[in-house]
Amino acid sequence: MDNGNKKRHSFGSGFRTFAAAALVICISSTSALASEGGAELEHTGNDVDNIQSLQRGARNFMNYCSGCHSAQYVRYNSVARDLELTEDQIANNLMFNADNTFETIVSSMRIEDARRWFGQQPPDMSLIARAKGTDYVYNFLKGFYIDPDSPTGVDNRVLEGTSMPHVLWQLQGYQHANFVETPVGDEGITKTEFAGFEYLTEGTMSAEDFDGFVRDTANFLEYIAEPERSTRRKVGVWVIIFLFVFLAIAIMLKKEYWKDVN
Ligand code: HEC
């Protein structure tokens, strides 16, 4: 009987070690994500369940981004289904570079031209919001500022030295970035910190409307990076229920087996 108690105890502590390890892994992976990239990011406040925002984002992406960026894992007909658009609406308003709605979003730019113009191929946008974070994309699109030393005439607050031009300049206008030197410790070492933007020229949109435009675009990129999100959430609930049922069965089985050992 004593022995049995010990065994039960070791099962409990093993489980506790496993739970603690799982917790540590979860915490360390989220903090790694949060600490990625130096610049402080403003929150997007986007909502991937807002279909109207996604429709506007799709329009923005196709009009302002797809000339350079592909989204090679995204099919037009899936976008139509998820964004509650008819295939005709998609074909007439969003498909500039495809004949059939089952095609994926490819960019019209040739790779050689992209290399010559930008030194590299603009990255595919299918997974960018997952790779870098939606807040990052939002801040990147809002973060272009005048830099006369850069070949494109602009630099970016969150991706220093970027080769992407300020493609939304007509909407946003041009801004100047202020930086301040703040001391680190006592040894006269300083670090450069971003201290806000100032408008140099106004764009066709107000700052508020431009934020909305960029939020919708980032929202669309978040949706395409994980189009099955809502289905997966529903499946996830069933998986967890199954795991609990299975756990109960496993505990009952364990009791049954150990009964004979004792
Ligand atoms: C004129 C071509 C061009 C257009 C149009 C364009 N981009 Fe880019 N984009 C680039 C290039 C080139 C890069 C690679 C920049 C780099 O790594 O420095 C890039 C990089 C990016 C990145 C990745 C940044 C990173 O951290 O790696 C994002 C996100 C992005 N673009 C979003 C957009 C969105 C959204 C639009 C539409 C509003 C857009 N781009 C329009 C050329 C373009």
CA-nearest residue, atom 41 of ligand 1: 65
CA-nearest residue, atom 34 of ligand 1: 65
Query: Is there an atom of ligand 1 within 6 Å of 152 CB?
Result: no
Q: Tell me: pLDDT of 96 over 90.
A: no
Lowest mean pLDDT among 39-43, 76-80, 158-162: 39-43
CA-nearest residue, atom 42 of ligand 1: 164
Q: Quick one: tokens of 26?
A: 């979860």
Q: Of all residues in the chain, what percent carry a pLDDT higher than 70?
A: 85
Mean pLDDT estimate for the chain: 87
pLDDT digits (tens, 9 = 90+) for 44-59: 999 999 999 999 999 9
Q: In angstroms, rounded to a whole number, what is the distance separating the alpha carbons of residues 82 and 61? A: 16
Most informative mutation of 60, 68, 164 for ligand 1 (most atoms within 8 A of CB): 164
Q: Tell me: pLDDT of 4 over 70.
A: no
Query: Is there an atom of ligand 1 within 6 Å of 126 CB?
Result: no
Which of 159, 154, 122, 121 minimizes the C-alpha distance to 139? 159
CA-nearest residue, atom 23 of ligand 1: 123
- Averaged pLDDT for residues 215-232: 90
Query: Is there an atom of ligand 1 within 6 Å of 165 CB?
Result: yes
Q: How buried is residue 258: exposed, middle or buried, by Cβ count under 10 Å (0-12/13-18/19+)?
A: middle
Q: In angstroms, rounded to a whole number, what is the distance separating the alpha carbons of residues 26 and 18? A: 12
Looking at residue 138, what is its pLDDT? 98
CA-nearest residue, atom 18 of ligand 1: 162
Cα→Cα distances 118→4, 112, 159, Å? 70, 10, 15
220 touches 60 (CB < 8 A): yes
Q: Of all residues in the chain, what percent carry a pLDDT higher than 90?
A: 65
151 touches 165 (CB < 8 A): no
CA of 114 relative to ligand 1 center, distance in Å:
11
Q: What does the longest C-alpha to C-alpha distance in the chain come to?
A: 83
Contacts (Cβ under 8 Å, ≥6 apart) of 48: 54, 219, 222, 223, 229
CA-nearest residue, atom 14 of ligand 1: 122
CA of 66 relative to ligand 1 center, distance in Å:
10
Which of 196, 190, 161, 158 minimizes the C-alpha distance to 178? 196
Q: Tell me: pLDDT of 108 over 90.
A: no
Q: In angstroms, rounded to a whole number, what is the distance separating the alpha carbons of residues 197 and 183? A: 21
Query: Is there an atom of ligand 1 within 6 Å of 64 CB?
Result: yes
CA-nearest residue, atom 26 of ligand 1: 159
pLDDT digits (tens, 9 = 90+) for 124-169: 999 999 999 999 999 999 999 999 999 999 999 999 999 999 999 9
CA of 92 relative to ligand 1 center, distance in Å:
25
